[in-house]
Amino acid sequence: MSKGGILLNLRLRLEEAITYGTKSQARRIALQGLRLAKKENLTGEVAYFQGQLELIAENYAGAIECFKVAVGHNPKDGAAYNDWALCLVELGFIDDALGYFEKGIEVEPDFATIYHNKGWLLNNIGRHTEAVSCFKKALSLEPNRAVTYDNLADALFNLGDYQGAVSAYQKVLELLKPNQCRGIRKAIRQQISFIRKKLKEGCCAGSYRKA
């Protein structure tokens, strides 16, 4: 595998660790990427992985400075724009974050993670219909993204589409690896039971899980 291929693989592994793993796992992978990028003298990749370490350490302003360098060297690095946007969310700059998600989509329109994270933000600020569109776009690019089905289910629940939410939650259970995220599996099964119970009662107000 080429050095570029190894770095791309590390980016993918890092995303999975952040989504399903622990901070220590994510940090190990980011350090591995940083060491390789430095060895190959790839300034943009060095900045990207350094930004990941800052993000993991919750130094969001420092991470943004790294991602600025990353996109300066690779203007089509949608992942750097994506993580820049996530840092802005943490700092409370919601409108700016949406703008940077859009920048990422513009430069790398086939990168599912950006649509997913934009949808996550829209869902959390009450723009559920737009969120559903983002999640569906992410799934059109990566049909087996369990985390996106999970967020889609939450957005559908928020819109009152309870049957759709149950179907999306069931898809999450199908896609998660057998030994992956037992806590998430349990929470999803409880949410499905909660919705079905409420549907039988003829109502579905409230939510077992925090959206």
In a domain, 109, yes or no: no
Residue 169 banded pLDDT, cuts 50, 70, 90: very high
In a domain, 196, yes or no: yes
Amino acid occupying residue 91: L
- The distance of Cα 157 from the centroid of its chain, to the nearest Å, equals 19
Residues 69 and 51: their CA atoms lie apart, in Å, by 9
Residues 160 and 148: their CA atoms lie apart, in Å, by 18
Note whether 151 and 144 are within 8 A (CB). no
The predicted structure's pLDDT at residue 19:
84
Number of compact structural domains in the chain: 1
In a domain, 207, yes or no: yes
Residues 210 and 95: their CA atoms lie apart, in Å, by 23
Amino acid occupying residue 100: Y
Question: For 125-135, what is each residue's pLDDT tens digit?
Answer: 999 999 999 99
Per-residue pLDDT, averaged over 156-171, amounts to: 96
Q: Identify the H or E element spanning 63.
A: helix 60-73
In a domain, 181, yes or no: yes
Tokens read off for 100 = 């940077």
In a domain, 154, yes or no: yes
Range of the domain at 189: 127-211
Q: Is 134 helix (H, G, I), strand (E, B) or coil?
A: helix
Note whether 116 and 151 are within 8 A (CB). yes
Q: What is the pTM of this model?
A: 0.89
What angle is formed at CA 210 by the lines to CA 209 and CA 211, rounded to 5 degrees? 105
In a domain, 62, yes or no: no
Going from the C-alpha of 73 to that of each of 47, 76, 101, 113, 186, the distances in angstroms are 9, 9, 18, 21, 43
Amino acid occupying residue 21: G
Per-residue pLDDT, averaged over 66-86, amounts to: 97
In a domain, 97, yes or no: no
The predicted structure's pLDDT at residue 1:
65
Question: For 53-64, what is each residue's pLDDT tens digit?
Answer: 999 999 999 999
The pLDDT > 90 percentage for the chain reads: 82
Residues 99 and 93: their CA atoms lie apart, in Å, by 10
CA nearest 78: which of 53, 61, 54, 101? 101
Residue 21 banded pLDDT, cuts 50, 70, 90: confident
Report the CATH number that the domain containing residue 162 is assigned in CATH: 1.25.40.10
Residue 181 banded pLDDT, cuts 50, 70, 90: low
Per-residue pLDDT, averaged over 96-105, amounts to: 98
The predicted structure's pLDDT at residue 203:
61
The predicted structure's pLDDT at residue 100:
98
In a domain, 206, yes or no: yes
